[in-house]
């Protein structure tokens, strides 16, 4: 659990999704009986109980006070055609699926009775905030991260949920959807040229995303550059810096690869790069939790002092590049 919290903290800080602590008076995510809090979602939506229509949202059940989760706990919805509810991959997780606009009470049951419950609602998304690159190499992967979802009243109405946007491209053959998971939609870019990545709300059809993208010929790729974002043992995240670099043992770091293309610098998605470690291989190891890796690149853990070379293999460009990295003693 600790490692998952570290990777979640790093992803949150890298995305700069939160600019400060959120103060909630009378937390709306605490159940009517006060025994559990439904936690999860984006930073702005951490206190929201409204889902975007068509979305799915895993939530973690956090016991309050002296309460403990019953061993026979089950989840139900009073209006499953509006918001369906089911158990998640762990005993403390529930998954909500917003089918259409409306209201539903999510019930947590034990011993045949309601142990705690909370009202949720669903409404169409009106806008989204997102991060995406402006350039990609032909044949490469480009991803778009939906960072926040808003309802009709804008930023004052944050919505929960992911996976609801209906993706397309103009021209249609310009991008091919690979997957849409965890708020990250990944696409394969086709021939070089200009393309618009489009995302529509599923119920009313409103256009939520219209992102222009330049697809660059792979033959235009020049020098490869590697940048790292380091999270220190105290979870301070440093600004991105180019390799070669020094990092202290006990740190996590994300490695991103970029390539020049004339006056442009084109980011390479993590899916298009394979990294290996040479040198003091005990000093650095890949950091995995079983969750999908960050779309930007690969995560590593600085384990012990030593000198390594991070080797990037990029089949898309037919290129391999080596970057020195030194792991210093722990802070």
First to last CA, the chain: 24
> Closest Cα to residue 172, out of 157, 187, 186?
187
The Cα–Cα gap between 131 and 297 comes to 15
The Cα–Cα gap between 266 and 241 comes to 16
For the segment 127-139, what is each residue's pLDDT rounded down to a tens digit?
A: 999 999 999 999 9
- The answer to whether 36 and 29 have CB atoms below 8 angstroms apart is no
- The answer to whether 187 and 135 have CB atoms below 8 angstroms apart is no
The CATH class of 127-216 is mainly beta
Same topology for domains 2-17+24-123 and 127-216, yes or no? yes
For the segment 267-305, what is each residue's pLDDT rounded down to a tens digit?
A: 999 999 999 999 999 999 999 877 778 999 999 999 999
For the segment 81-112, what is each residue's pLDDT rounded down to a tens digit?
A: 999 999 999 999 999 999 999 999 999 999 99
> What is the model's pLDDT at position 17?
40
The Cα–Cα gap between 186 and 165 comes to 13
Pairing of strands 245-248, 319-328: parallel
With respect to CATH, is domain 2-17+24-123 assigned 2.60.40.1080? yes
For the chain, what are the domain ranges? 2-17+24-123, 127-216, 220-328
Which positions ≥6 away from 117 have C-beta within 8 Å?
A: 31, 32, 33, 105, 106, 107, 108
Kindly state the DSSP code that residue 6 receives in the 8-state scheme.
Answer: H
- The answer to whether 195 and 174 have CB atoms below 8 angstroms apart is yes
Name the 3-class secondary structure at 166: strand
What architecture is the 220-328 domain classified under in CATH? Answer: Sandwich (2.60)
């Amino acid at each position: 659990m600790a490692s998952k919290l570290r990777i979640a903290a790093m992803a949150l800080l890298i995305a700069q999704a939160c600019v400060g602590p959120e103060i909630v008076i009378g937390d709306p995510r605490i159940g009517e009986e006060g025994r559990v809090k439904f936690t999860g979602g984006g930073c702005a939506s951490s206190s929201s109980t409204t889902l975007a229509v068509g979305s799915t949202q895993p939530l973690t059940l956090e016991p309050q006070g002296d309460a403990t989760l019953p061993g026979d706990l089950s989840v139900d919805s009073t209006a499953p055609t509006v918001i369906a509810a089911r158990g998640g991959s762990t005993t403390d997780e529930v998954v909500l699926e917003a089918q259409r606009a409306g209201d539903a009470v999510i019930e947590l049951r034990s011993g045949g009775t309601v142990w705690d419950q909370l009202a949720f609602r669903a409404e169409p998304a009106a806008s989204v905030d997102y991060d995406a690159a402006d350039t990609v190499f032909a044949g490469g992967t480009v991803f778009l991260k939906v960072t926040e979802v808003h309802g009709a009243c804008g930023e004052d109405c944050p919505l929960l949920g992911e996976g609801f946007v209906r993706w397309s491209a103009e021209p249609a053959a310009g991008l091919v959807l690979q997957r849409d998971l965890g708020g990250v939609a990944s696409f394969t870019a086709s021939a070089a040229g200009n393309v618009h990545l489009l995302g529509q709300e599923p119920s009313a059809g409103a256009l939520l995303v219209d992102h222009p993208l330049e697809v660059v010929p792979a033959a235009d790729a020049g020098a490869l550059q590697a940048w790292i974002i380091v999270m220190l043992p105290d979870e301070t995240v440093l600004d991105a810096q180019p390799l070669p670099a020094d990092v202290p043992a006990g740190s996590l770091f994300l490695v991103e690869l970029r390539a020049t293309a004339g006056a442009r610098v084109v980011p390479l998605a993590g899916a298009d790069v394979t990294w290996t470690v040479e040198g003091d291989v005990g000093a650095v190891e890949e950091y995995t939790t079983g969750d999908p890796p960050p779309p930007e690149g690969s995560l590593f853990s600085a384990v012990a002092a030593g000198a390594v070379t991070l080797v990037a293999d990029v089949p898309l460009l037919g290129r391999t590049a080596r970057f020195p990295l030194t792991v210093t003693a722990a802070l």
